[in-house]
Amino acid sequence: MIAVRKSDERGTTRFGWLDSKHTFSFGHYYDPAHMGAGPLRVINEDRVKPGAGFDTHGHRDMEIISYVLDGALEHKDSIGTGAVIRPGELQRMSAGTGIRHSEFNHSNTDPVHFLQIWILPREQGLIPSYEQKAFSGAEKQGRLRLVGSPDGRDGSVTVHQDVDLYAGTFGVADTKVFDLRSGRQAWVQVTRGELDIDGERLAAGDGAEITNVDSIRFSGHDDGEILVFDMAA
């Protein structure tokens, strides 16, 4: 079964410096019909104006993933980590017992466009930690590149939950069949362009929950880029 969540159905938060789209219930946007999928709790698509950002704030017991699409995102936190995340890079922050951090547009002239993803960890009280890795366009073209996993295999970042996270880009000539093991479900989030999922056209901002199927077929249409979350059902 494929349950599509269209881009224009998402919740919206707009401030002078921020335009945010919420796939799942978040903040002032409460939607009991869309509280997440498995351990996947938040997918926010954020656009932040130059020089602006999220002031220092706290988190705990959450795996927080930032995936930059355009621009550059600057991160600082209370365990002494400071970094700039650029397109193709993925940052995982485990809030664990508690962490405070800020996120700002690194540029004073260009906007930053990124996804912030929250995943419930498999256990509470983890030691706060951070990891960031880059994945080239060639690694993702026409295939699904593992970018996050519970064991950090194949050069992916370590996510403290039973979730395998893949990123892929599909042009008009690209197809990929992705197998789901028994007892698994998937969430697919389209980050750019368009592509077909089992013959159904999805565009940037659209998402789909996939359950009770053995495989998913992705077919490129207009340089569609996706994230795929393979999770326990």
Give the count of beta carbons closer than 10 Å to the beta carbon of residue 135.
18
Number of domains in the chain: 2
Considering the domain architecture, whether residues 179 and 223 belong to the same structural domain is answered as yes
Domain interval for residue 166: 138-232
Domain with residue 155: its CATH number is 2.60.120.10
3-state SS track over 74-90: EEEECCCCEEEECCCEE
Query: What pLDDT is attached to residue 91?
Result: 95
Q: Does position 64 have pLDDT exceeding 80, yes or no?
A: yes
Lowest-pLDDT range, 51-55, 89-93, 181-185?
51-55
- Please give the Cα distance from 86 to 187 (Å, whole number): 24
User: What are 177-212's pLDDT values in tens digits?
Assistant: 999 999 999 999 999 999 999 989 999 999 999 999
Position 118 in a domain: yes
User: What are 98-127's pLDDT values in tens digits?
Assistant: 988 889 899 999 999 999 999 999 999 999
Lowest-pLDDT range, 54-68, 74-88, 124-138?
74-88
Considering the domain architecture, whether residues 109 and 98 belong to the same structural domain is answered as yes
Can you read off the two tokens belonging to residue 100? 């405070």
Considering the domain architecture, whether residues 142 and 122 belong to the same structural domain is answered as no
Considering the domain architecture, whether residues 78 and 180 belong to the same structural domain is answered as no
How far, in Å, are 122, 131, 232 from residue 96 at the CA level?
11, 14, 21
Share the mean pLDDT of the chain: 94
Average pLDDT over residues 70-84: 86
Position 59 in a domain: yes
- What's the pTM value of the predicted model, to 2 decimals? 0.95
Considering the domain architecture, whether residues 144 and 130 belong to the same structural domain is answered as no
Q: Does position 66 have pLDDT exceeding 90, yes or no?
A: yes
Query: Hey, which bits of 50-144 come out as E strands?
Result: 53-59, 63-70, 73-77, 82-85, 89-94, 99-105, 112-119, 129-134
User: What are 133-180's pLDDT values in tens digits?
Assistant: 999 999 999 999 999 999 999 999 999 999 999 999 999 989 999 999
- Please give the Cα distance from 225 to 195 (Å, whole number): 8
Considering the domain architecture, whether residues 75 and 154 belong to the same structural domain is answered as no
Considering the domain architecture, whether residues 101 and 22 belong to the same structural domain is answered as yes
Domain boundary among 120, 135, 150: 135
Query: What pLDDT is attached to residue 118?
Result: 98
Query: What pLDDT is attached to residue 129?
Result: 93
Position 2 in a domain: no
Considering the domain architecture, whether residues 155 and 125 belong to the same structural domain is answered as no
Give the model's confidence band at 19: pLDDT under 50 very low, under 70 low, under 90 confident, else very high.
very high
Average pLDDT over residues 58-73: 95
Query: What pLDDT is attached to residue 8?
Result: 97
Q: Does position 79 have pLDDT exceeding 80, yes or no?
A: no
